Structure 1
Amino acid sequence: MILKDLKIIDIIQDGRGVARTDAKTVFVENAIYGETLDAEIIAEKKNFLEARKIKTNIKSKFERKPPCPYFYECGGCSIMDINYDTQIKLKKNLIKNAIKKSTHLEIEDIEIIESPEFAYRNKIHLQVDKDGGLNYLKKYSDEKVKINNCLIASDYIGQNLGQIEEISKEINGKFDGVITEISIRTNNKDILLNLYGTYDKDCQKYIKKNWQNSKFHINLIDRRKAYAINGNGKLDFKIKDKTFKISADDFYQVNQYQIENLYGVAREFLGENQKLLDLYCGSATSSMSINDDHIVGIEINKNAIKDAKENAKRNGLKDYKFIAKNAKFIDSKFIKENKIDAITVDPPRAGLDKEVVKTIANAGIDKIVYISCNPQTLARDIKRFMDRGYELKKLKAVDMFPQTMHVETIALIQKM
């Protein structure tokens, strides 16, 4: 069935356009915000339709020619075909609509700190084909798109991408497509490669022999185990006056221009002289950027906790404790025994477990600084806190992901 003359009035987080018929909302693949189009229905759900654009009838005034030659196939970027001012407007709408839907709060406007549009990512994750070629995935598909460059990746990554592909091609040529994925991370001085696959002893020995003197730091990641081929398998990063060691699987914010802005907003919301509990603390880059000392960190990744302790020593902290546990480990007794004044959380996209919200509220914590990469789960959790006597005091966003509909939001949630 064909739907004619649909007006695209918004973009959702996965990049699909939003239109409305008299009966249902329609989510349209490959649509551009502001255009009028015809679309073919590909799925009918109870409350909405899914469709694919087949023809543009009226072009969007916000449209631009995407500078990336892979854009129309590659799923790495979803809104490079609209101008950056409009991207910011759409992200504001995304956050405001999520907050309104969950909490019924009307937010007139939200400040978003803008980013350079390109060359901002210090890390990219690529698919590797059997021949060792580097790829992203196609939009709405598991098919691969061969790339020779990525405009949103750091220039330093781009300058070295050809040499990196030479490594993956040689290994996959000899060991029958052993590498399936690769992540590339840089501090703009060094590059850390994580090569994901299944490696027998002969393969490990071959890679060690041939690349132990590589200019790249190389880790083999096999069933979540990491083997350092050369170097120590880690990189050093600097955030303002602090330095951090980041290992193979440690979380680190990807936008090299916006990290200080993101943590600067969180630091402003938190205030000074706080004993801080940081849930999902990772290797403590966020904890130590937001609070100079007096930190208790909880993180399920044991290797990240090891790095957090080393980072604390590196940066001269005197009062810290880092514990390798699930966030649900904490309870009111733990919070009181550790004399916690405030809590920061930066959870995965799924947000906070409702039991964690309950624990924080029952402990009477006055202030929560919530960093979120998902406006929908942030809004849901704000509502959960509101139901337990809290209010949303401040909200600000940082555009960490230009050319996509993803955005980081920082919320200050305070006891009423």
Structure 2
Amino acid sequence: MKKLYDLYIEDIGFKGVGISKLDSGKKVILNGTVLPNSIVDAIVKKNKKDYIQARVCDIKKIDKNYKTTDELCPHYFFPYKDIENDKNTGCGGCKKSIIPYEKQIQLKKNILSNTFKDIWQDDIDIIPAPFRRQYRNKVEFSFGNIQSGDKNLGFHKQGMFSKVVDVQRCYLISEKMHSVFEYLKQYFLDSSLPFYDQKKHEGFFRHLIVRYGYNTEQLMINLSVAPGYISNNLQENKKWNYLLEKLQKDEFLQKNIQSFFITYNKSLSDAIKSNESEVELLFGKESIDEQLSIGDQTVDFEYGLFSFFQTNTMAAEKLFANAFDMVGKVDGTVLDMYCGIGTIGILYAKYFGVDNLVGIESVNEAIQYANINASKNGLQNYKFWVGDTEKVLPNNSELWDSLSDVGLVFVDPPRDGLGKKTIKFLGQLKNHKNFKLVYISCNPTTMSSDILRLQKYGFELSKIRCVDMFPNTYHVESIGVLD
């Protein structure tokens, strides 16, 4: 592979990419651990006419104001070691952790200003995260190896889908999550069942997903395995059944884990959930509980194995509190599109005493919990619809009738943003009703382009604010209010 040497990173763009230039003036877009004002070597991935796409393979020099290596996670990419073969180094999860937090916020402000320049010219406020570490309530570990015969459980090496960093300590998760991870890891290491090789598609243990209710201290475990390995092997099947029995009887696990699932994943894809997956509850209940507090209101939520819940619980409270502060109390029905388990709509209804709530979500499991959550929090007039917003919104007359007095619409779409039919529906609804629209997004690029399209229907962006949900990464959550 062709290498580029001594590239100076002059700027950071969206998705955390580094921007550099060759002596010829040709732009280089760099993925990986890119730090402003650093000098790196990189491997060329694509050589286009107007730019080169490359991945950082060595950090040669960094800004003297950055943290010393003694303060970093031991699995961090820098300082450069034998990245291909060192089982403990190369995790790219916290790429910006070496940068002082104040500088991280400034970098994010610069990225947002550039991304939102077509829809917003004023300064953009970013609300800092409550915690810099131990903030994730969900983490996905992968089983794998570096060299043949190794057993590693951790995160994929930066830019290497088939190699896994052996994580001893992750600073993103709570002490309780770590203690259970450490305990289970020893179980799997002691087992003679093999860890999965993603290159050869061989082995048994594939993924370990840990979910945690920060305000309830409840834990949910999902162990993903490849059933093909044991299907025709009586001896290996016996080993697996013996391990399952041990896990079920283990007092430490019974005491600390509320839900333990096994996912039998037959797919070659690295995704946990697929049409070829079968899920079994090993022990415990099918859901865990969490609480979110806004002002003097504490709202109880329950969610299942594949339900979406904001990954940073404490920052989510800040996110929703800021959204509610920006829009204020609005009379009329609240429409929560992409509602998931009902989080935003139910919180708003409880905080402001609103009763009429309508939600739409494509995942059936999430809608089941949305109904449970609305009921347990005392809401009386609510209706949650299952289906793709692109299909449900334009064609459901009963849904249209339920929005006869709509005053507020929340949209918190996937990273791809709003579909054309959804934007058209909002435009049509605006022709009949005078409502406010709150757009919450983890992707400022699609949010910006969606708002430009909404403006063609007469919407005007009146407020914008951002919350840092993921310190030490390029990610940031944005809130926009449109009138």
State if a TM-score over 0.5 links the two structures: yes
Cα-to-partner distance string for 1:258-316 (whole Å, 9 max, x where unaligned):
12111111222332234111111111122212332421111111111111111111111
Task: Determine if contact 1:132/1:172 at 8 Å carries over to the other structure.
Answer: no
Secondary structure at the aligned position of 2:116 is classed as: helix
Q: Does 1:70 align with 2:92?
A: no
Q: Give 1:17-56 correspondences, 5 Å limit.
A: 17-21=18-22, 23-29=25-31, 30-36=33-39, 41-52=44-55
Shift of 1:56: 6.2
Alpha-carbon distance in structure 2 between the residues aligned to 1:3 and 1:211: 50
- CA distance in structure 1 between the partners assigned to 2:324 and 2:454 by the alignment: 21
Q: Per the alignment, in what secondary structure is the counterpart of residue 291 of structure 1?
A: helix
Residues in 2 aligned to 1:139 and 1:175: alpha-carbon distance in whole angstroms:
20
Q: Which residue of 1 aligns with 2:284?
A: 231
For 1:314, the aligned partner's letter is K
Distance in 2 separating the partners of 1:2 and 1:137? 22
Question: Do residues 181 (structure 1) and 198 (structure 2) align?
Answer: no
Q: Tell me the equivalent position of 1:250.
A: 307
Aligned alpha-carbon RMSD (Å): 2.7
Q: Residues 55, 375 of structure 1: CA spacing in aligned structure 2 closer, same or farther, 3 A cutoff?
A: same
Structure 1 residue 32 displacement after superposition = 1.6
| Unaligned stretches of 5+ residues in structure 2 | 78-89, 197-202, 232-236, 265-275
Q: Which amino acid in the other structure matches residue 141 of structure 1? A: M
Distance (whole Å) between structure 2 residues aligned to residue 336 and residue 210 of structure 1: 55
Preserved CA contact (<8 Å) 2:193 2:205: no
> Which residue matches 1:8?
9
CA contact (8 A) 2:152 2:164 kept: no
1:353 aligns with 2:390: no
TM-score, normalising length: structure 1: 0.90
Q: After the TM superposition, which of the residue ranges 348-357 and 28-37 deviates more from structure 2?
A: 28-37
Shift of 1:243: 0.8
Decide whether aligned partners of structure 1 residues 12 and 194 sit closer, same or farther in structure 2, where only a CA change above 3 A counts. Answer: farther
Given that 1:172 and 1:179 are in contact with CA atoms closer than 8 Å, whether structure 2 keeps it comes out as no
Identity of aligned residues (%): 29
Count of paired positions: 412
Summarize the Cα distance change of 1:218–1:380 in structure 2 as closer, same or farther, 3 Å threshold.
same
Q: C-alpha distance in 2, partners of 1:288/1:248?
A: 20
List per-residue Cα deviations over 1:189-247 (Å, max 9, x = no partner): 23211112344796885565333343222111233443211111311101121111111
CA 1:175/1:368 → structure 2, altered by over 3 Å: closer, same or farther? same
Q: Is 2:327 the partner of 1:325?
A: no
Query: 2:58 & 2:137 partners in 1: Cα distance?
Result: 37
Structure 2 counterpart of 1:146: 166
Equivalent residue, structure 2, for 1:294: 356
Measure the CA separation in 1 of the matches of 2:375 and 2:336: 17
Q: Which has the larger radius of gyration?
A: 2
Counterpart of 1:220? 262
Q: Is the 8 A contact 1:299 1:323 kept in 2?
A: yes
Q: Distance in 1 between the 2:43 and 2:221 partners?
A: 42
* Cα distance change of structure 1 residues 49 and 389 upon mapping to structure 2, 3 Å threshold: same
1:13-412 matches, within 5 Å, as: 13-21=14-22, 23-29=25-31, 30-36=33-39, 41-52=44-55, 59-65=62-68, 67-72=72-77, 73-100=90-117, 103=118, 105-129=120-144, 133-142=152-161, 143-169=163-189, 173=193, 177-188=203-214, 189-199=217-227, 206=242, 208-213=244-249, 214-215=253-254, 216=257, 217-222=259-264, 223-240=276-293, 241-272=298-329, 273-292=331-350, 293-328=355-390, 329-331=392-394, 333=397, 334-339=399-404, 340-364=406-430, 366-412=435-481
Distance of 2:68 and 2:454 partners within structure 1: 43
Tell me, in whole angstroms, the C-alpha distance in 2 between the residues paired with 1:54 and 1:197: 32
Whole-Å separation in 2 of the counterparts to 1:2 and 1:298: 49
